[in-house]
Structure 1
Amino acid sequence: MTASYKIEIQQTGDSFDCAADDAILRGGQRAGLGLSYDCNVGGCGSCKFEVVEGEIENMWEDAPGLNPRDVKRGKLLACQCRPKSDAVIKMITMDEFVPQTNPQRFAGKLEMIRDLTNDIREFRFKSANGFSSFQPGQYALLNLPGVEGGRAYSMSNIGNDDGSWEFIIRLVPDGKGTNALFKLNEGDEIEIDGPYGMAYLRTDAPRDIVCIGGGSGLAPMLSIARGVAAADGMDDVKVHLFYGARGPQDLCGEEELKALGQSADR
């Protein structure tokens, strides 16, 4: 059994148990705490924190989310650090970061692969435990064979009752993550960790919505548009979706968008 440690946030006194193989940020999110974050993969710097007491393992010392001044001041990234003992930390927490659904780590079986263009594919995974609760526009971390650290990809579908997690992903020629993903076969299993992300649909917003995406960036836009169509009380909300690509051969999702427009009648 993996060891776990108690992490206390000095400013609030809140505490949570974090597994030794889990990032502090994600452990806090699993406990339902509003630890500040955005990208979850070391790039944005939104999850900076300081260690007051305890021992922490920094998994990526050169993460771009920290500048030299941050390093000099002893700042760390909660998405790139794991606990090695009980610890007390200083970190920003806000109600807006409290997860709508506490993220989970679970096994996902690859049920379907579909080519959308010469380098963009649609993948559908099904969770072994039936979990598939997330907000339109959120993302999950896929832990892929031979790749260190999870890779963040936005879902293209919406939360559902059948355990489905769908993604539209472009193959990056030198990308370790997408190359590992594109080598998977139907029936293979990977670990999925999610949901995460703050750029999700707010169903209480009365205004029209503008979505802008390109290439495989259609995924979260499609999820948001589908979320609007499925939501109660958003019949008068219009979605203006602007989608671009390098050329006609790189466009995808036309069938899905047409079907969505017809079903939503807007």
Structure 2
Amino acid sequence: MATDVHRTVGPQQASADSGSGSDREHGPRTPVPAVRVEGLTRAFDGRAVIDNLQLSVGPGEFVALLGRSGCGKSTLLRILAGLDRDIEGTVLVPRRKAVALQAPRLTPWGKVWRTLPLGRPGGFLRAAAEQRPPEVGLLSPACPRPGAPSGGEVQRAPLEGALAREPDLLLLDEPFGALDAPGRAGAQRLVGELWQRHGCAVLLATSDVEEAVLLADRVLVLDEGAIAYGTAVELNRPRDRTDPRFAELCAGLRDRLGTEPAA
């Protein structure tokens, strides 16, 4: 798996998919992480929004990132996507990645697939979109122009477009936020099914504790720009919200966040 190195400080780091000859000769190698972040710092006007953050995401692992508004979740995903490079530290991510960010905007003159934030900045993969009609219904070149899709479809379009790329890393920033309850549940099922089918690593930023436990292998809590807490979600799939262990995990995470259950 090829990697992008966004920026390093100090001695140049070796590529994540490299290894010495002696490493190759002695037994199986430890799997290379899909994401490796070391000492990451991002400051705005002298204030560190991301502060010496350490993060590793394994190949095919689904990680949910929880945190209060303003904790740096969106900033971190933008950095991993390559959209923000004014950083200190080491960031290694796959070159084949896709991202669905908050607040998707559709231009009145373009088709839906043209507005999907796919891959590296400025890149839109029309071919992949056109070749995936069974899973990505909004991405056909015959899709109606913006104005015709419903609000839920507009919110779903960037998510489906990102999945169409079949990335090694999928970055999702509150992708279900504008959906009503049935639409949100359907989109969550879609993400879970396609992740299991394609096996890419996923990093989901969300403020919904139940959503994190429903989808992720591991949940991390971001606080003051660093990972303050992490826990594995060792529940069988599909997850059952009525399972007492599900409720216990959610309660523990809410305690960490200082939040109350949704009404």
- Superposition TM-score, scaled by structure 1 size: 0.25
* Larger relative contact order (CA 8 Å, sep ≥ 6): 2
Higher strand share: 1
Q: TM-score, normalised by structure 2?
A: 0.25
